[in-house]
Amino acid sequence: MSVRNEALINPSILAWARESAGFYLEEAANKIKVSSDVLKACELGEKRLSISQLRLLSNAYKRPLAFFYLPVAPEKEDIPKDFRRLDINTKKTLSPKLRLEIRKAEYRREVALDLYKELDFEIPKINLKIFITSNIIEVSKPIRNFLKVDLDEQKKLQGEYTVLNFWREKFENVGILVFQAPMIKLNQMRGFSIDNFLLPVIVLNSKDSPKARVFTLFHELAHLLLRSGGICDLGEQNKIEIFCNAVAGETLVPTNPFVENSIVRENRKESDWNDEKIFKVSEQFNVSRVVILRRLLTIGKISENFYRQKLEKYVSDYKNKNKMEGEDEKKSIPLPQHTKIISQSGKSFVRLVLESYRQNKIGLLDVSEYLGTKIKHIPKIEQAISNSTQMLGGSD
C-alpha cells in the first residue's frame, strides 16, 4: 500500500497564494482534481494536501515550493486598481495571468535597482513633473525635450515596429523600464504603469498594435509625471484619464504642426474627412488613426458625434483584425526564444543583467533567473543585444 506524503505547510499561506494569484476556489481545486470543499478545508488547516498536489498548485500560482513553508503569510500585495483596456465596459477582474505580469514587472524593477547598486551605476532620476492644472499644449514641449526627440525625426521613421522600438528606447534612455506582457487579453489590459521615483515601470500588452502601444506609452508617461499612482483606467469620466489622453495626443501630434499640415488645413468641413485622409495624416505623424481622429476633434475639425462613430468603427475593425491575426498565429512559426526575452524584458533591463554578469556581479544561473529563460538561450540574447549602443546610465 502506497503512503500519502502530506505537505506540512502553513494553511494561511496556501489561501494567500491562491488569492494573490487571482484564482477562485473552484478554479484552483480543479487544478488538483479535488472539490472546492476539500481545498477550502486545506486552507483552513482541517486537511492537508499531498506533496504532489502542492507541486501542482505551486506551478499554477507561480510560487516556488519553499514559499508555502514560510512560517507567516506575507503582507497583502498592492494590486493595481485599474488598467487601460480596449473595452472600458469590461468587468474589472484581474486574471491569474495579469496578476503574474504585475508581479513580474515589480520583480524586474527590484532586480534592476539591486544591479544598479552592485555595478555602482547612477540610477537615472526623472525630475520632470506636470500637474492636472497644466496647460496641455505647454506641457508637451518639455516632455519631448525630456525624451530628446524632435518631430522631424519622428516623421522619418519607417514601419510601425520601427516606430514602437524608437519610442521604447527613448523611454528607456531616460530611466523608465518598459516591459511587454504576452497572453493578456486587450479587454483586460492595454497597458499599466508602476509609479516610483526611481526606475518607474510601464508595461505594454504585446497583443496590441504597435502604434496603439506608442499611445499607451505616452498615456502612462503622463501618469508617471503626474505622480498619480500609475495604473489607470481609460474611463472617460475620470478627469485624470482625460488629461493623460490629451497629454499623449498633444505630445505625439503637437497642435501647431498639426493645424499647419496641408491635409488638415485644406479639409475644412467634417464631410471632407474620409478614412483615407485620416489614414494619410496618421502615416505622416507616425501615429494611429484614433490619435488623429481625437486631434481633429480637439481643434474643432469634426464633431463629437462624428468622432464617436468613427472611433466605434476603428475599434470594431481592430477587434476583427486582431481576431483574424490570432487565428493566423496558430499556424505561424513562433518567435525565437531570445527575441521573445528581449521583447518582453526590454533592451535596457537585458543590458543591465548582461553587464552585471560580465563584471562578475552575478552568475549564469542569476542571468537565467532574471531573464526568465534557460541558460542555452543566453548566448543568442547577448549576440542580439550587442549591436545597440545605448548606455546603461540613461544617456544616448
Whether 186 and 208 have beta carbons less than 8 Å apart is answered as yes
| pLDDT tens-place string over residues 211-240 | 999 999 999 999 999 986 544 444 444 788
Cβ atoms 135, 182 nearer than 8 A? no
Q: Which helix (H) or strand (E) holds 178?
A: strand 177-181
Q: Percentage of residues in the chain with pLDDT exceeding 90?
A: 64
- What is the residue type of 353? V
Mean pLDDT computed over 82-97: 62
**pLDDT tens readout for residues 277-296:** 999 999 999 999 999 999 99
Name the nearest CA neighbour of 382 among 343, 346, 342.
342
Q: Are 163 and 157 in contact (CB under 8 A)?
A: yes
Q: Which residues sit opposite 202 in a β-bridge?
A: 178, 193
- pLDDT for position 324: 61
Write out pLDDT tens, residues 326-384: 555 555 567 899 999 999 999 999 999 999 999 999 999 999 999 999 999 999 999 99
Quick: pLDDT tens for 128-142: 999 999 999 999 999
Please report the pLDDT score of residue 139 as a whole number: 93
Determine the pLDDT at residue 176: 96
Given a cut of 90, whether residue 84 has pLDDT beyond it is no
Q: Decide if 217 contacts 259 (C-beta within 8 A).
A: no
pLDDT confidence of residue 199: 94
Cell output for 292: 488623429
Classify 45 in phi/psi space as left (phi over 0), alpha (psi -120 to 50) or beta. left
Q: Domains in the chain, please, with CATH?
A: 11-69 (1.10.260.40), 96-252 (no CATH)
Q: What is the pLDDT of residues 243-282, one digit of tens each?
A: 999 999 999 999 999 999 999 999 989 999 999 999 999 9
Counting residues of the chain whose pLDDT is more than 70, the rounded percentage is: 86
More confident residue, 3 or 346: 346
